[in-house]
Structure 1
């Protein structure tokens, strides 16, 4: 089944942020009996905290944190790239959760350290890391039962992913059309593709979100093309565009779209993206 998606905001952040690398770093747990006050610095961090059962303790977040719907009412402390340190400190957080290190988070960490407030990063490198992060947050925030239940549900779905029949299919993921961008050395997305029976032909590139030429894609001749982010009309337009340029996958109808908020936010809903992409690759057979 063809899938459509809207919005270009997630793609821009993906391109800007993919070159960095981090992990959920150790930090002191909150004191016994101290109600948590959490600030999240990325949409995926917000979704992970909610999955861990502590969404109600988030007191500040960034502009594009819009899922689950309750997150839209949380005060904003920046756009994820530019952060208001003054606003964050005024919220008196007990924990700050980001995605990847940046100049802004490093500066913020220097101001949080004297207060004993940890800043941790939630940057999964595989699908299995996502439920592990949910469990870790549950331990930190005193929501172990809810976090473990959510993690078990994610693990069941990950283990149930059903790849397409062999051999593996080459999959080109288009994340920008003009200029043409794709995903390259991005371990999380490449792990997702592998579990679905797909291979990213740009996985061994030097960077995580390379700009590529139309000619290089045509030479590689991927069996499947996945577009993100695109709406229904644009999916049809891109199918026609690639067909005119001679891409066999487009002419054969092996072209799909995925919601960018699912694919580009490394949180619990990436499992939704994995299920959709696995279904697309089975359909492409």
Structure 2
């Protein structure tokens, strides 16, 4: 009996030793985000008050601009991150896992984001909410996002036959394949991405390749009114003949946040307008 009594008294201690540290840690209260869309998601789910530092590209919502900057798109200042004494870091797996590995080895938990499609963003929002102790507000935000996504799919999901070329930047002329976030938006809106079969997510293409596909709509992720001016020399293109050169807010469309649906709705309207111009 004495042995069993000792075992029952020591069992909680043994469990504390063997349980994963992630399960034992308190709800994080000092969060560092080194990618803009995760910075934005924190505020979307109601956990913005936990954010203590950001990367240089994080600019939304506007109040984050006063936070200390500890990273940019090329590198992460590990000393600056450690100075913030974070109990959670938010990063982008495919781009930042190697840079964040030294911090993980120090025992600092990292939440990695890598949404594969529009619906999976809601899953990340719920996971973040659970991790940060804001499940109720996170689930509500995810539900709102999915409801709006479903409404867009119902309204614009039918094929239009409109061929779309998305100019990510120029020069060099770079587009998006069927795997990239903007490309998924084109498909969601019923358009045909003329670069859908490219092997790389963001392929560099020749203008001649685009001319052969003869898109009815050419888009640029830019607010520069001259971003598409170089296409004017190709007057035979349907997009030129029908005046279907359009600009769209890249900060919204390219970021994995509910705000992306603002740009998706705009894109869907552009594709419908191009459809109406088709003979």
TM-score normalised by the shorter chain: which range applies?
Answer: 0.7 to 0.9
- 1:158 pairs with 2:152: no
Q: CA deviation at 1:165?
A: 5.3
Query: Pick from 47, 60, 63: which aligns with 1:54?
Result: 47
The alignment status of 1:244 with 2:223, answered yes or no, reads no
Structure 1 partner of 2:249: 259
Q: So what's the TM-score if we normalise by structure 1?
A: 0.82
In the alignment, which of 154, 173, 198 is matched to residue 180 of structure 1?
173
Higher relative contact order (CA 8 A, sep 6+): 1
Match of 2:114 among 108, 117, 123: 123
Q: 1:30 to 1:174 in 2, by over 3 A?
A: farther
Please state if 1:234 is matched with 2:223: no
Q: Which has the larger radius of gyration?
A: 2
Q: Is the 8 A contact 2:76 2:99 kept in 1?
A: no
| Other-structure match for 2:31 | 38
| Aligned-residue offset at 1:187 | 4.1
Q: CA deviation at 1:225?
A: 1.0
Structure 1 equivalent of residue 92 of structure 2: 99
Aligned residues between the structures: 252
* 2: CA distance, partners of 1:160 / 1:227: 25
Distance 1:127 1:227, change over 3 A: same
- Aligned counterpart, 1:13: none
Q: Is the 8 A contact 2:57 2:72 kept in 1?
A: yes
Preserved contact between residue 91 and residue 111 of structure 2 (Cα < 8 Å): yes
- Alignment check: 8 A CA contact 2:253 2:263 kept: yes
- SS of alignment partner, residue 172 of structure 1: strand
> C-alpha displacement at 1:130, in angstroms?
1.4
- Tell me how large the CA RMSD over aligned residues is: 2.0
Unaligned runs of 5+ in 1: 1-26
For structure 2, the residue ranges without an aligned partner over 5 or more in a row are 1-20
Residue 45 of structure 1 and its aligned partner are, at CA, apart by 1.2
Distance in structure 2 (CA, Å) of the matches to 1:222 and 1:187: 19
Compute the displacement of 1:112 (Å).
Answer: 2.6
Which residue is 1:73 aligned to? Answer: 66
1:220 counterpart residue number: 213
Pairing partner for 1:144 from 135, 145, 167: 135
- The 1-side partners of 2:38 and 2:164 are apart by 28
Task: Give, in whole Å, the separation in 2 of the partners of 1:275 and 1:242.
Answer: 25
Q: 1:166/1:101 Cα in 2 relative to 1: closer, same or farther (>3 Å)?
A: closer
1:96-147 Cα shifts (integer Å, max 9, x gaps)? 1112334x542432333332x2212212111111122111110000011111
Higher helix content, 1 or 2: 2
Where does residue 280 of structure 1 map in the other structure? 270
| Alignment match, 1:23 | none
Q: Does residue 109 of the first structure (1) align with residue 109 of the second (2)?
A: no
Aligned 8 A contact 1:185 1:204 in 2: yes
1:210 to 190, 203, 208: 203
Query: Partner of 1:227: helix, strand, or coil?
Result: strand
SS of 1:173's equivalent in the other structure is strand
Give TM-score scaled by structure 2 length. Answer: 0.84
